[in-house]
Structure formats: structure tokens, C-alpha cells
Amino acid sequence: QVPLDVNARSDMRTIVSGLPGANYGFSGRMLINGARTAQVAFDNDGLANRSPYAGNMQQESSLNVDSLASIKFTLVNAGAESRAPAQVSAITKSGTNQFHGNIFLDTMHSLFNANDHNAPAAADKPFARTNYMGYSIDGPMFIPKLYDGRNRTFFLNSLTIMQAPWRTDGFITSPDAKMRAGDFSDFRDPEGNLIPIIDPATGLQFPGNRIPTGRIYSGSKAYLETIYPLPTRVGYQDNLFLPVLSETDGKSVRMDLRVDQVVNDKNNFFVRYSRLWNPEGAAYRDFGVGMNASLFTIDSFVVTDAHVFRPNLINEFRFGRSRVFNKQYIGLNSSEIVGLLGITGIPDILTGPDRHNVPDLNITGAQYITPWVGDGTGSNHLWEIFDNATWVHNRHTVKMGTNFRKDVNDNRSYDRPGSFTFDGTFSGYGLADFLLGLPSRAVRPYP
């Protein structure tokens, strides 16, 4: 049994990784004493919280520290109840006849940090802030004049909100107003030589190095005006400074609720519901696509009943269900961007009202835009029924039981609506090819 530091506002992953013999390997999977990831079992109150499929994470960090009574860490030779030789078991605590509670705010702020020792003198420190705030309360279920649950009914409720906001700034490449109008009369290389823009129809340089207005593709012009602000510096490769290039509130919420009931001196049970979720405000906001939402949610429910038939015969029954759901999308609607560019032939399934993605546009001379998240959903379910009987006879102890589990993985993702490359094949410069509407490579997705 491992004692917990309740002031460490962290998830179970951080707590467990600090134990002897434990570390995280590829893709954040737990390794214990060199065992494979699928040889490490995790459970919360006996409900499996790691999918058997390749040892993938199911609910490894979904409980509040304030809700935990202990973590049992079995390095090798876990009992027959475990599906793996190593096991990490988290046990939530029950309320008691006394009310207990706390409200907390733990914060880390870069204001109190020293700067990097390699940073130049007087350089600004990188901004960083992490807040853990919330509450925990437990005790007997008590409603004045209606119900006194002392010695019979107990509850525990805890809530933790984590915030770790960050913002970055930087320069991007954005065409200036003259280039957007097809005017490359002052488009020069570092030595000051004019870079010719070739007319694909004639093979000759455009007169005055300007693309005629009537030759500019309307979709290209509309796309640039919608996505790219005008530059703040002219004549530089990275010519648009964005004070907020990307940002996030970095917010997540964890909630646990447990109710214990003593039926009589031979029978008691408890019910626990836990939820971890990222509210929409936790989304990244990035140049070109706006919001990058990854609305990750974990729900778990478990009920456990312990019955003493005789002093030497005890039975434990447990039923649990958990669900891990993740919906990802960006702030732009696929149909709007595809319509803006005037692209045809994209399958309807990629441009419906619920699709949020942008075409993959590689344009030499304009910032490449890619979402941080994909477009789609992931939904993983786990059901578990467990029954275990313990019989003690003289000097012998016999345990027998059954464990039934069902795992369902339903993951679906959607392709980006087309991929196009504008690299100067036709005019000598990618941005000019884009203005002419002439990609050197065009790929239609077949989802």
C-alpha cells in the first residue's frame, strides 16, 4: 500500500510513475520492471481502466487524488483476479460519520521561476502557469428531519479543475496586397534581381511581371483574403508578426461521486461515478483554423456488493461500465472552405454540415496551414461483471470466481477534403500558380 500526498494535485499517472520499477515507455504506456505494456493491469475500485487491446490507455488518470484511499502496487505475480502479472489498483475512500472537507488552490507561476541559465541577460522569462483548484467533501448522508445516515449511508464528492494556459507568438509568411492582386513587379531575390513570373499560356514572362486581373482565379483571391491577414513587414520571407500565433486555456475537469450503504452487519455496497472531461474552452486556437477542439471525456460507473454468508464464506460482486469518448474538430466548416476555393468533385461525406476540416494546401510563398487535431470521433466502451467468493476452511483458503469483460472500440476519422500543391511548376513561383488556379499536384480523397 502506498501512502498518498493529497497536496500533489496530479493524476494517477504521475503518482504511479514515481514508484519503484515503474516508468512510461512509448506513447505514454506504463512499463513495470521491463514488462510489456499489455502485461500491466490497472483498475479503479476493481473496474479495469486499461483496455486489453495492445495495453492502450483506458482510464489511467481519471480519479482525483482527494478521492483515493490508497494505491496498491503489485510488481510481479499478481493474484488470479488480475489479467496481468503486474497490477496497479486504486481504491477510493468512503465517507465516515464525521464530515470532512477542503477547498484548495495550488498554483505554479513563471513569476516565481528563474529564467533559463542560457538565456541572455535581462531576457524575458517564458510565461507558464498551472492552477489546480477545487474541493472535496465527505461524511454521512444527513437531511435534517428527513434522514440520518450516520452508521448507514455515507458519501464522498470531489472536484478538481486544472488550468495550464499558454500562448505563443511568431512570424508567418503572408502575401502582401500587391502580390494578392497579381503584381510581382517588385518580387526580387536576395541579390535584388527581379524574379520573373511566367505566363503558362505563352511560356513568356507576364508583361511588367504582373498577372492580369482577369487571369486571377476567384477562389484563390477569396481564400487569401479570408485566411491570411496582410503582412506587417514587406520584403521578408516571414513577414507577418502575430502576437498570438497559438493559444489554449489548457483546462480539464475531474469529478468523483461515491455513495456507501450499510444494509446490515452482513451486507454492504457502494456506487461510484467518475467523470473527466475537457470543456470546449480547453481547445487550442491556432492561426488559419481557429479552434482545434479535442473534447476528451471519460465516464465510469461501478457498483460493488460485499456479502458475508458465514464468517468463513464471503462473496464480492461487482459490475462496472466505462466509456472514453473523444470528438475532434477545428473551427472551420469543410463546406465553407471548399466552396470558398471553388473546389468540385470532393465526396459529400467530407463536406457535410458536421465536417470540420480544410484542404491540404501546399503553397510556396504562403504559410502552410494544418490543424492540430483531426476530424472525427473515438468511442471506447468497457463492460465488466466480476464475482469472487472466498472460503476459509481450517488452514486452507480457497478463492473462486468469474470475470466477464466486453470491450468495444468505435473510432472513425475523416480525410481532409483534397490535397493540392502549388510549387511554381507553371509560373516559376508557387503563389503565382495558386493565383492562376494551377496546382502541380491534386489528390481527390476516397474515404
Give tens-digit pLDDT for 338-367.
Answer: 999 999 999 999 999 899 999 999 999 999
* Distance (Å, whole) CA 301 – CA 424: 58
Does 65 have pLDDT greater than 70?
yes
On whether the CB atoms of residues 50 and 32 are closer than 8 A, the answer is: no
pLDDT tier for residue 112 given thresholds of 50, 70 and 90:
confident
Closest CA to 43 of 272, 378, 297, 308: 272
CA dihedral 90, 94, 98, 103 (to 10 degrees): 50
Which amino acid would we find at residue 95? G
Mean of pLDDT values over 375-385: 90
Mean of pLDDT values over 247-269: 91
Does 9 have pLDDT greater than 60?
no
pLDDT at 5: 43
Distance from chain centroid for Cα 42: 20
Burial category of 377 from C-beta neighbours within 10 Å (exposed 0-12, middle 13-18, buried 19 and up): middle
Mean of pLDDT values over 85-91: 84
Residue 392: CA count within 13 A, CB half-sphere: 9
* Distance (Å, whole) CA 247 – CA 291: 9
* Distance (Å, whole) CA 49 – CA 92: 14
Mean of pLDDT values over 379-390: 92
Beta strands in 14-121 (DSSP E): 22-24, 30-32, 40-44, 47-48, 68-74, 86-92, 100-109
* 126-144 residue pLDDT tens: 777 788 899 999 999 999 8
Q: pLDDT over 70 for what percent of the chain?
A: 89
Residue 226: CA count within 13 A, CB half-sphere: 16
Does 118 have pLDDT greater than 90?
no
Mean of pLDDT values over 324-344: 92
pLDDT at 190: 83
Closest CA to 350 of 358, 361, 341, 342: 358
Which amino acid would we find at residue 92? T
Q: What ranges in 299-398 are assigned the alpha helix state H?
A: 334-341
Residue the block writes with cell 474541493: 135
